[in-house]
C-alpha cells in the first residue's frame, strides 16, 4: 500500500481506533452498590424502570433502597476572559445519552479493576482498596469519537483529561461509602484561572422494589440539607408510598484537593491565607429540577453554572433550611474552590465520597436521625486522610503509621481477617463451620496480633420480605478470649472442634462448629460469622469487626437428598399442603409464590398433573448443580444469585404451568422419578384460596 494512501487510511480510522465503548461497573464488595461509568457519570438512571438490573447507588446492596438517579463531575474556570464549565452530567430526565447536552466528557479507556484482597482474582499489591475501579475520560472532544455526531452545546472545551479511581472496602466500619479520586490534567495551551471543582448530583432515596410511583411522583418526595462541618450535602425521603421501607440517607461529601503540594480544605485555611491565597471554600446548592423560574433556579448555561459553583446557598437562613425539608424534586451541587490557577500541563487531584447511612428513627430529619450519617461521614473522611491526622497536608511527627517516610492517604486500621465459613443445610437445622485464620491477623496500624473473638449473626424467618437482610441481622452468639476486660471471657471451648473438619473439594480446614436447631424448613436465613479485635486505647482505635458481606450466606433448611431404594423409608412430599394462595413466605404477586417438594433424590424428574391427568409442568431437580428451583420469581425478588445454600433434597416451584400461567385451586397429583435408579414415587397436594 502506498505511503500516502496508508497515511489517509490511518487518519480516517484514528477516531474509531481511539474511541471507547460506553462502559459501566458497579461496586459490589461492601454494602453499597454504586454504578461507575467511563464517561464521568455515576449512577444508573433507569433503575426505577428496571429493578432487576444492577444498582444505581443501592444501600444496603440487594435491599432495593436506591439513593441516586445520576451524578457527574463539574470543572469551572475562567479562560482568557471566558467563563467555562465542563460537565459530566446535568438535569436530564433520561440521564446519560451519547452526545447529549451536558454530557461533555467522552471515554479514553474502559474500566479496569484491582483489589488488595489476596483472595481476589484481580489482586494487586498496589491496589488501594478491596475494590478499585480505574478509568479515564476527557472533555477535549466536540464530536463523539468515531462519529460525526456533535456533542450538544459543547464548542469550547477546557481541555481536561481525567483519571478516575474509585475505592470501596468491605470492612464493617467502612462498607457504606465509595471514595472517588479524580486526577485532572490541563492538557490545553491555556491557563485555567479561579478554578472550581465539584459534583452535580440527583440524590433520590426510594425503595424501587416497593414503590408503585413512577415519573414525577417518583422524584418529588425528597428533602435535603447541608452539613458544613462534614463538607457534605444529603438527601432523604420525606413522604411516599414506600417510606417505611427506606428511612435512609444518601450523601455527597467533599474530602479534599491536592494542589501544588497543598491540602486544599477549609480545615487547612491558614496554609492558604498565610501565603496570600484565597481561603478554601465548600459550597452547597439545591435547585428545582430543570426549573429556571423558581426560588432555587436551574443553571442552564456556563456562566450561571459557574456562579452556582462559586456561590452556595445560605444555610444560616431558616427559610432555606425549611424549604429543603419540604418534599420536592431538587438536584444538588457540591463544589470547592477557588484554586488560583491550573497551568497548561499541570495536574491536581480532587476527592469526594458517596456515603449512605440509616435514618435513625426516621422519616424526620434532625440531629438524632443523622447520628449514623455523621458517623459514616467521619469514617469516610478518616479513611481519605489516612496518616494526615491534623489535616495540614504534611507528614508530622507521630503520623508515619507505616514507617515509609511519606504521608499516605487511605490508611485504615484493619480488623482481623474475615472467617471462611461453610454452611450445611439439614432438616430443621443449619450447621456452621469456620476456620481460625483471623487469630493470626496483625493490625496494620498497631502492628499487634490483637484478635479477640467471633460473633455469629442470623436473620429471622420472614425478614427477607422486608427487603433488607443485612439490616435485620441479629447477634446470636459471641465467643471471645478469656483473661481480659473485653467481652464475655467465655472462651472457645464450646465451639472448637477436637479435629479440623474438611469437605470434599474444599481445601479449607475448619476448626469451629456450631449448630442452629429448630429453624423452619423452606424459610430463608442469612448467616454471618465475624471476627473482632481488642482495639487500641493508646492509638484511639475502637474494637473493629470484620466484613459482614464477605462470608454472608443465605440458607434454607430442609431435607437432604436420598435415593429411592428399599433402605429409604422417607416419602416424597409437598409443603405447605394444602397450599393456600398465598403462603406466608410468598411475595405480593402471582409470580412470587413458592411451594416445595421434599425428600427428593439427588437427580429427579418431577411431573405435576391435574386431577384429570393432564400434565401441568415438568421440573428437573439436580441438587449437585444447584438447580433446585432457585430460578423462580421468588428468589429473584427476595434472595440473591450467589452464596445461597439450598437443601439437596428439596425443590421449589412457583405454581406456574409449563406455559407460565397460574394454576387454579383444586387437587393435583405428582410423580417423582429417581433418574439414577428409575424408581418412581407419587403423591398429591391441594391448592386452596
pLDDT in tens, 253-270: 999 999 999 999 999 999
Q: How confident is the model at residue 568 (pLDDT cuts 50, 70, 90)?
A: low
CA dist., res. 274 & res. 262, Å (int): 13
- Mean pLDDT computed over 370-376: 97
603-610 and 615-622: which strand pairing? Answer: antiparallel
- Grid cell in block for residue 407: 504521608
Check residue 8 and give its pLDDT.
35
SS3 annotation, 326-379: CCECEEEEEEEEEEEEECCCCEEEEEEEEEEEECCCCCCCCCCCCHHHHHHHHH
Instruction: Determine the 3-state secondary structure of 268 from DSSP.
Output: helix
Q: How confident is the model at residue 626 (pLDDT cuts 50, 70, 90)?
A: low
Check residue 551 and give its pLDDT.
93
- Mean pLDDT computed over 199-203: 98
In this prediction the pTM is 0.81
Which single residue is written with the C-alpha cell 476572559?
Answer: 81
Degrees to nearest 5, angle at CA 200 with 360 and 353: 50
Check residue 537 and give its pLDDT.
80
* pLDDT, averaged across the chain: 92
- Grid cell in block for residue 198: 465539584
CA dist., res. 295 & res. 287, Å (int): 8
Check residue 427 and give its pLDDT.
94
The answer to whether residue 571 scores a pLDDT higher than 50 is yes
- Grid cell in block for residue 234: 444529603
State the Rg of the chain over Cα: 28
CA dist., res. 325 & res. 466, Å (int): 27
Instruction: Determine the 3-state secondary structure of 632 from DSSP.
Output: coil
The answer to whether residue 501 scores a pLDDT higher than 90 is yes
Q: Where are the domains of the chain?
A: 12-385, 421-556, 573-688
- Mean pLDDT computed over 23-47: 97
Check residue 413 and give its pLDDT.
85
- Judge whether 158 and 77 are in contact, CB under 8 Å: yes
Q: How confident is the model at residue 567 (pLDDT cuts 50, 70, 90)?
A: low
- Numbers of helices and strands, H then E, in the chain: 7, 36
What kind of architecture, by CATH, is found in domain 573-688? Sandwich (2.60)
- Judge whether 417 and 130 are in contact, CB under 8 Å: no
Q: Dihedral of the CA atoms 475, 476, 482, 488 (nearest 10)? A: 70
The answer to whether residue 105 scores a pLDDT higher than 60 is yes
Q: How confident is the model at residue 627 (pLDDT cuts 50, 70, 90)?
A: low
CA dist., res. 111 & res. 27, Å (int): 12
CA dist., res. 470 & res. 458, Å (int): 9
Q: How confident is the model at residue 419 (pLDDT cuts 50, 70, 90)?
A: very high
CA dist., res. 609 & res. 286, Å (int): 61
Check residue 641 and give its pLDDT.
58
Find the helix or strand (DSSP H, E) in which 636 lies: helix 633-638
Phi, psi torsion values for 309, nearest 5 degrees: -65, -40
Q: What is the largest CA-CA distance in the chain?
A: 92
- Mean pLDDT computed over 136-160: 95
Q: Dihedral of the CA atoms 95, 98, 100, 106 (nearest 10)? A: 100
The answer to whether residue 66 scores a pLDDT higher than 50 is yes
Which single residue is written with the C-alpha cell 422519616?
Answer: 363
Check residue 682 and give its pLDDT.
94
Amino acid at each position: 500500500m502506498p505511503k500516502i494512501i496508508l497515511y489517509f487510511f490511518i487518519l480516517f480510522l484514528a477516531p474509531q481506533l481511539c474511541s471507547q465503548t460506553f462502559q459501566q461497573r458497579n461496586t459490589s464488595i461492601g454494602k453499597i452498590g454504586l454504578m461507575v461509568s467511563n464517561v464521568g457519570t455515576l449512577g444508573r438512571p433507569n433503575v426505577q424502570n428496571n429493578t432487576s438490573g444492577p444498582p444505581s447507588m443501592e444501600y444496603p446492596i440487594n435491599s432495593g433502597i436506591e439513593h441516586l438517579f445520576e451524578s457527574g463531575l463539574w470543572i469551572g474556570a475562567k479562560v482568557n476572559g471566558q467563563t467555562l464549565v465542563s460537565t459530566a452530567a446535568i438535569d436530564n430526565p433520561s440521564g446519560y445519552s451519547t452526545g447529549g447536552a451536558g454530557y461533555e466528557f467522552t471515554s479514553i479507556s474502559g474500566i479496569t479493576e484491582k483489589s488488595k484482597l489476596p483472595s481476589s482474582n484481580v489482586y494487586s499489591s498496589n491496589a488501594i482498596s478491596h475494590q478499585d475501579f480505574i478509568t479515564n475520560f476527557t472533555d477535549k472532544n466536540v464530536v463523539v469519537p468515531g462519529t460525526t455526531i456533535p456533542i450538544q452545546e459543547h464548542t469550547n472545551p477546557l481541555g481536561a483529561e481525567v483519571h478516575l479511581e474509585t475505592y470501596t472496602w468491605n470492612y464493617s466500619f467502612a462498607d457504606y461509602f465509595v471514595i472517588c479520586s479524580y486526577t485532572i490534567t490541563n492538557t490545553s495551551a491555556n491557563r485555567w484561572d479561579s478554578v472550581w471543582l465539584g459534583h452535580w448530583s440527583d440524590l433520590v432515596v426510594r425503595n424501587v422494589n416497593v414503590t408503585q410511583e413512577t415519573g414525577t411522583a417518583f422524584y418529588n418526595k425528597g428533602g435535603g440539607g447541608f452539613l458544613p462541618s462534614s463538607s457534605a450535602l444529603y438527601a432523604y425521603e420525606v413522604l411516599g408510598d414506600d417510606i417505611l421501607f427506606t428511612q435512609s440517607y444518601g450523601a455527597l461529601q467533599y474530602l479534599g484537593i491536592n494542589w501544588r503540594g497543598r491540602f486544599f480544605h477549609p480545615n487547612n485555611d491558614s496554609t492558604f491565607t498565610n501565603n496570600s491565597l484565597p481561603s478554601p471554600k465548600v459550597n452547597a446548592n439545591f435547585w428545582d429540577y430543570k426549573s429556571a423560574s423558581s426560588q432555587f433556579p436551574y443553571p442552564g448555561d456556563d456562566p450561571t453554572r459557574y456562579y452556582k459553583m462559586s456561590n452556595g446557598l445560605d444555610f444560616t437562613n431558616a427559610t432555606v433550611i425549611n424549604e429543603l425539608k419540604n418534599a420536592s424534586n431538587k438536584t444538588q451541587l457540591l463544589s470547592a474552590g477557588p484554586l488560583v490557577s491550573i497551568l497548561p500541563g499541570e495536574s491536581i487531584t480532587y476527592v469526594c465520597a458517596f456515603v449512605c447511612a440509616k435514618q435513625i428513627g426516621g422519616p424526620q430529619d434532625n440531629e438524632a436521625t443523622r447520628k449514623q450519617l455523621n458517623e459514616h461521614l467521619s469514617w469516610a473522611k478518616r479513611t481519605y486522610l489516612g496518616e494526615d491526622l491534623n489535616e495540614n497536608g504534611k507528614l508530622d511527627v507521630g503520623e508515619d503509621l507505616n514507617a515509609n517516610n511519606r504521608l499516605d492517604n487511605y490508611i485504615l486500621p484493619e480488623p482481623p481477617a474475615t472467617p471462611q465459613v461453610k454452611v450445611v443445610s439439614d432438616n430443621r437445622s443449619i450447621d456452621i463451620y469456620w476456620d481460625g485464620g483471623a487469630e493470626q491477623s496483625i493490625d496494620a496500624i498497631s502492628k499487634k496480633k490483637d484478635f479477640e473473638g467471633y460473633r455469629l449473626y442470623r436473620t429471622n424467618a420472614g425478614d427477607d420480605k422486608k427487603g433488607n437482610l443485612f439490616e435485620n441481622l441479629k447477634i446470636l452468639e459471641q465467643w471471645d478470649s478469656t483473661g481480659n476486660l473485653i467481652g464475655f471471657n467465655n472462651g472457645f471451648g464450646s465451639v472448637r472442634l477436637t479435629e479440623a473438619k474438611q469437605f470434599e473439594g474444599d481445601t479449607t480446614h475448619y476448626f469451629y462448629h456450631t449448630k442452629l436447631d429448630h429453624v423452619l424448613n423452606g424459610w430463608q436465613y442469612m448467616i454471618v460469622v465475624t471476627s473482632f479485635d481488642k482495639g487500641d486505647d493508646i492509638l484511639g482505635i475502637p474494637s473493629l469487626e470484620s466484613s459482614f458481606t464477605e462470608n454472608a450466606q443465605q440458607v434454607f433448611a430442609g431435607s437432604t437428598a436420598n435415593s429411592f431404594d428399599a433402605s429409604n423409608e422417607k416419602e416424597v412430599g409437598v409443603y405447605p399442603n394444602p397450599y393456600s394462595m398465598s403462603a406466608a413466605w410468598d411475595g405480593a404477586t402471582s409470580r412470587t409464590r413458592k411451594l416445595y417438594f421434599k425428600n427428593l433424590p439427588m437427580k429427579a424428574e418431577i411431573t405435576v398433573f391435574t386431577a384429570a391427568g393432564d400434565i401441568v409442568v415438568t421440573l428437573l431437580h439436580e441438587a449437585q448443580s444447584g438447580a433446585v428451583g432457585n430460578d423462580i420469581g421468588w428468589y429473584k425478588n427476595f434472595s440473591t444469585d450467589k452464596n445461597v445454600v439450598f437443601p439437596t433434597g428439596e425443590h421449589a416451584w412457583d405454581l406456574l404451568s409449563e406455559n407460565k400461567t397460574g394454576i387454579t385451586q383444586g387437587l393435583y397429583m405428582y410423580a417423582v422419578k429417581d433418574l439414577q435408579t428409575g424408581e418412581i414415587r407419587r403423591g398429591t397436594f391441594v391448592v386452596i384460596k
